Amino acid sequence: MKLFDKTVAAEVASKLLEIKAIRLQPEKPFTWASGWKSPIYCDNRLSLSFPKVRDLIKENLIKAIQHHFAGVEAIAGVATAGIPQGALLADALGIPFVYVRSKPKGHGMENMIEGKITPGQKVVVVEDLVSTGGSSLKAVLDLKDAGFEVLGMVAIFTYGFDIATENFKNAGVELVCLSDYAAMLPQALAKDYIDDDETLASLVEWRKDPSIWGK
């Protein structure tokens, strides 16, 4: 797991905070599906409604793909939030696009992957957000099972959990992200989204062990 560029990471984090795609509420935590309490909620789909932010993300994801995954022949978005981002990238690069469902379509062809499947085609997977990496890596496995050659994955933001790093390492999948939690915190502090040292300390502690934070 790596950042594409530190300057880009700070800029993307700043813009995501500005448009409220990233919300920080340590005093009123969010609850994830896993049951974890979280001081942060990240919904990068909001970036699609802001043309300048959308272009910033698109342009840098393209640069990340061109730098790290030369020879890419198709883009695969992970449903649902990776679909629009992936389609934008595929259009800009002039290459095919497919997307991966979380489960097979319940009728018709019952497809897991939507779009033309070309065995051996070199594909880069696009995610909006990586937490533990479980659903992202499942999409990679589905693409490999369908015959694609997965070069790696790009994402807009990651929390940078150790378990995600370990999961991607074990799966042998290279992940390149535009920004992460560590890059976001200084931006939040500088722009007064964090207003005191106690709040900052709480946010740092969550990142260390989210499974017990807030209990």
pLDDT digits (tens, 9 = 90+) for 128-159: 999 999 999 999 999 999 999 999 999 999 99
Beta bridge partners of 22: 42
Q: Indicate the pTM of the whole model.
A: 0.94
Annotated ligand binding at 105? The verdict is: yes
Annotated ligand binding at 118? The verdict is: no
**Distance of alpha carbon 85 from alpha carbon 167, whole angstroms:** 23
Annotated ligand binding at 82? The verdict is: no
pLDDT higher than 80, residue 110: no
Annotated ligand binding at 130? The verdict is: yes
pLDDT higher than 70, residue 107: no
Annotated ligand binding at 129? The verdict is: yes
**Distance of alpha carbon 90 from alpha carbon 149, whole angstroms:** 17
DSSP letter string, 26-62 = TTS-EE-TTS-EESEEE-GGGGGG-HHHHHHHHHHHH
Annotated ligand binding at 133? The verdict is: yes
Annotated ligand binding at 135? The verdict is: yes
Give me 37's structure tokens: 């309490």
